[in-house]
Amino acid sequence: MLCGAGAPGDAAGGARACARGFTAAARLREGGRRARARAAGAGSPERPAVAAKPDVSAKMAGRTMQAARCPTDELSLTNCAVVNEKDFQPGQHVIVRTSPNHRYTFTLRTHPSVVPGSIAFSLPQRKWAGLSIGQEIEVSLYTFDKAKQCIGTMTIEIDFLQKKSIDSNPYDTDKMAAEFIQQFNNQAFSVGQQLVFSFNEKLFGLLVKDIEAMDPSILKGEPATGKRQKIEVGLVVGNSQVAFEKAENSSLNLIGKAKTKENRQSIINPDWNFEKMGIGGLDKEFSDIFRRAFASRVFPPEIVEQMGCKHVKGILLYGPPGCGKTLLARQIGKMLNAREPKVVNGPEILNKYVGESEANIRKLFADAEEEQRRLGANSGLHIIIFDEIDAICKQRGSMAGSTGVHDTVVNQLLSKIDGVEQLNNILVIGMTNRPDLIDEALLRPGRLEVKMEIGLPDEKGRLQILHIHTARMRGHQLLSADVDIKELAVETKNFSGAELEGLVRAAQSTAMNRHIKASTKVEVDMEKAESLQVTRGDFLASLENDIKPAFGTNQEDYASYIMNGIIKWGDPVTRVLEDGELLVQQTKNSDRTPLVSVLLEGPPHSGKTALAAKIAEESNFPFIKICSPDKMIGFSETAKCQAMKKIFDDAYKSQLSCVVVDDIERLLDYVPIGPRFSNLVLQALLVLLKKAPPQGRKLLIIGTTSRKDVLQEMEMLNAFSTTIHVPNIATGEQLLEALELLGNFKDKERTTISQQVKGKKVWIGIKKLLMLIEMSLQLHRRNSGLFTPVPTAPSFEACRWILNTV
């Protein structure tokens, strides 16, 4: 029984059966309510629910009739209103008015069981028009304007009519469209109309979503002009196009080409905008993520199945802290036309009770499993985001003395992502800054196979980030005109996104601090506060004093090594600096040698460390670190190796980096008695010196040593690209040049020293010479009774003492 029609007498049992069917189709009822709401005056009071907009000349005078039930099941499936042949002829179209502003268009059929003066409707029609049995309505003939009201394209939402008929079989929309045109040819349809459609012995509930009129040029036999006009009511003709779209949350499996674009739309939300989300500098990363993880999900399931393609199930985002991993994952739900992602902090999974940690993993995947069982390939995308995933997915067997909880959690996660019962409707996103700790089985294809580094932003990325964080100030005219965002982007090399945000906050604090009154209590000078603006000086002051990049250059690290400057006492020093500049340029410009290493060797106190620090400073690389033994006092061999590895790992995160490995023999714990050295540190250093940086990164390594012979025996010299000798001051002329540049001696003292050393060989390091000069100054002050810090020239006795030492 269908649509309340048991027999011509309309048995009550048949009506109840139809009511149960449409109770299952709650969505159709809701569509009817929306249609009636539009009819009830959602627009202007004069506008009808369906804008049939007939010509007055096309209508005849209306007559009053009574609404009745449809007499048979077969007629209920025709989508026609049924009358007696004494009232109207079959195939005519009428407008039914239920109130002055509510009118609905129907096509007619006749049946002898309908009482004259009555017009019978199926249950979907009565629900759509809001009709009740026996209601008096005005019925008028209506003639379609076939030049304007023939349907070109009609979009229809479809779902199973009753829950008991739900199955996962594929339904070909092309065949459905052909059957639809055959069943309903030359019939009237309106936007919001509900009807029942029979296909392959299954009943489907339909809802008309959109109608476009046919191009008038086609009706005239002319080429199409491409003009499409939306209409509210139209007539189905033989060449009308019907497109089906699956109802929301429906398990219907549609295949074929007669599907709407909405059904194939990108899972990427068309309204997403990185700038509005507060994400900058990640354009390339997102493009790569989309290509690998989302592109296959845009295509219809049947094409994916024909290609034998499997969707990517996991993405691992890794990189230094503060570069946008968590922010990107947090906003990813806004980018996708999918349900809200489940965001889980890694440590939250762990539980003190046995088995609860594994149960927490299962709960995360429960919704996806249930929906895949119910909907199959039509299941929606479930996104699960793990922040700090390394907390729960450490390498199995690496936890000494562990109860095995971490191992079983990893096992559970592995089986859920890609186990025996595979889920094809999930996307797991893991985030960490320690990818080396994660179990390798989790990183194989089929699990977290897309590994994307979210690194430090480049200049373009920094410009985007600064633009985002200053947008509100700029919109309220609180950003001074002298602030150049491009200049700040250039100056903030190797700043992470979080550090750039901190820089903006620090500049804001500096600006606000200017308007705080200095009195017994803290208060704001409201007169000046109205003119508050963040200036360029505020940003530069914050850049100088407040915010330093974690992966950048800290001038304090190497400033102490060149506090006295570089004394160019002769050609040997000049050649070292020139060779160093050449190696810096090679590192910057060469694509064939991303790793350049140089060893500065020479006697003690010859200034090797100062020269290395100077070369590093002059390079202007965004990342400069000094690996020095004075920072590893008391470290075990393992701790030293880890400290060195961290310095090099940090260097790999910057596009241009310079690492100074100072006093290598001290790093190796070398002593000539024995001899003794740390082989573990030696092997680690050899590996780090030869390891090329990641693609797109460049590294300059500058080493210093006073024991070239020892490094030769350890086969370390071969690890460096080149070796540069740094000699001591060897001639009297070089000594005089050094004293001249230092400027501590009067002409008389320099003449005396010149007479003593001219043409003779000397042997003294520049560092030791500086020490002797300072000692001679103190000697002069003692002999003169001057113990003030005022600089004075050395006495003749002091000069003689220096000469004796040399």
Least confidently predicted of 111-125, 130-144, 362-376, 659-673: 362-376
Using pLDDT thresholds of 50, 70 and 90, give the confidence band for residue 206: very high
- Check whether 118 has a pLDDT greater than 90: yes
Per-residue pLDDT, 98 = 87
pLDDT at 5: 37
- pLDDT at position 259: 61
Instruction: Give the distance from CA 299 to its chain's centroid.
Output: 22
664 versus 552: the higher-pLDDT residue is: 664
391-435, pLDDT tens digit by residue?
Answer: 888 888 776 555 566 788 888 888 888 877 778 888 899 989 888
**151-262: CATH architecture:** Roll (3.10)
275-320: pLDDT as tens digits: 666 677 787 787 788 778 777 877 767 677 778 888 888 999 998 8
Give yes or no: 767 in active site.
Answer: yes
Structure tokens at 575: 């050649």
How far is the C-alpha of 766 from the C-alpha of 738, rounded, in Å?
A: 8
663 as an active site residue: the answer is: yes
* pLDDT over 80 (residue 57): no
Helix (H, G, I), strand (E, B) or coil at 112: coil
Write the pLDDT tens digit of every residue in 789-806: 444 445 445 555 555 655
Long-range contact pairs involving 130-133 (C-beta distance under 8 Å, separation at least 24): 130/32, 130/36, 130/39, 130/98, 130/102, 131/67, 131/98, 132/67, 133/67, 133/68, 133/69
What pLDDT does residue 278 have?
A: 67
Predicted pLDDT of residue 624 = 92
**Does the pLDDT of residue 40 top 60, yes or no?**
no
Q: How far apart are CA 111 and CA 360, in angstroms?
A: 63
**What pLDDT sits at residue 45?**
35
**CATH dotted code for 12-142:** 2.40.40.20
Mention every residue, 6+ apart, whose C-beta is less than 8 A from residue 397. Answer: 407
Alpha-carbon gap, residue 484 to 233, rounded angstroms: 58
Spelled out in words, what is the top-level CATH class assigned to the domain 274-453? Answer: alpha beta
Looking at residue 599, its pLDDT comes to: 96
- Tell me the CATH class for 459-545: mainly alpha
Residue 205 bridge partners (DSSP): 159, 196
Contacts of 89 (CB under 8 A, 6+ apart): 108, 110
Q: What is the pLDDT of residues 577-621, one digit of tens each?
A: 999 999 999 999 998 999 999 999 999 999 999 999 999 999 999
Asked which of 220-229, 580-589, 658-667 is least confident by mean pLDDT, the reply is 220-229
Apex CA 274: angle with CA 463 and CA 289, to 5°? 105
**Catalytic residue flag (residue 662):** yes
**pLDDT at residue 23, rounded to an integer:** 40
Its CATH class, for the domain covering 555-727, is: alpha beta
The residues, any chain, with a CB within 8 Å of residue 419's CB and separated by 6 or more, are none
Catalytic option among 609, 614, 653, 705: 609
Mean pLDDT of 224-239: 81
- Length of the chain counted residue by residue: 806
Residue 566 CA to residue 393 CA, distance in Å, equals: 51
* 26 — pLDDT class (breaks 50, 70, 90): very low
For 202, the token pair is 């299954």
> pLDDT, tens digit, for every residue of 621-637?
999 999 999 999 999 99
- pLDDT of 474-528, one tens digit each? 888 889 999 999 999 998 988 988 999 999 999 999 988 887 876 667 677 777 7
Residue 51 has pLDDT above 60, yes or no: no
**What would the pLDDT profile of 707-726 be if each residue is shown by its tens digit?**
999 999 999 999 999 999 99
Whether residue 700 is predicted with pLDDT greater than 90 in this model: the reply is yes
| Own/partner pairs, 670-679, CB within 8 angstroms, 24+ separation | 670/707, 670/710, 675/710, 677/714, 678/637, 678/640
- Sign of the alpha-carbon dihedral angle for 703, 709, 713, 717: positive
274-453 and 555-727: identical CATH topology: yes
Q: Of the given ranges (43-57, 132-146, 453-467, 744-758), which has the lowest mean pLDDT?
A: 43-57
Determine the pLDDT at residue 100: 83
- Say which residue, 322 or 635, is predicted with more confidence: 635
d(CA 519, CA 564): 43
Which is the catalytic residue, given 310, 690, 691, 760?
A: 690
438 DSSP β-pair partners: 394
Instruction: Give the 3-state secondary structure of residue 243.
Output: strand
- What pLDDT does residue 111 have? 93
> For residues 386 and 788, which has the higher predicted lDDT (pLDDT)?
386
Contact assessment for residue 477 and residue 342, using Cβ atoms and an 8 Å cutoff: no
pLDDT reading at 764 higher than 90: no
**Catalytic residue at 146?**
no
Which of 202, 548, 645, 767 is the catalytic position? 767
Spell out the CATH class of 730-805: mainly alpha
| Catalytic-role residue among 587, 662, 698, 705 | 662
pLDDT at 221: 56
What's the CA gap between 238 and 258, in Å, rounded?
A: 16
Domain positions in the chain are 12-142, 151-262, 274-453, 459-545, 555-727, 730-805
pLDDT of 88: 92
Q: Is 568 exposed, middle or buried (0-12, 13-18, 19+ CB in 10 A)?
A: middle
pTM to 2 decimals? 0.64
- Token output for 458: 């480049």
> Which residue in 246, 313, 608, 698 is the catalytic one?
608
Instruction: Kindly name the residue from 313, 538, 663, 698 that is annotated as catalytic.
Output: 663
**From the DSSP assignment, how many helices (H) and strands (E) are in the chain?**
30, 28
pLDDT of 25 higher than 60 = no
Q: Tell me the three state secondary structure of residue 25.
A: coil
Report the distance separating Cα 490 and Cα 466, nearest Å.
Answer: 11
CA atoms within 13 A on the CB side of 14: 19
Nearest to 92 by CA among 81, 102, 100: 81
> Which DSSP helix (H) or strand (E) runs through 368?
helix 356-375
Banded model confidence at residue 208, pLDDT cuts 50, 70, 90: very high
Mean pLDDT across the stretch 538-567? 84
Residue-by-residue DSSP string for 152-196: EEEEEEEEESSGGG----EEEHHHHHHHHHHHSTT-EEETT-EEE
Neighbours of 755 (CB within 10 A): 9
Most confidently predicted of 56-65, 441-450, 473-482, 699-708: 699-708
Instruction: Note the pLDDT of residue 222.
Output: 57
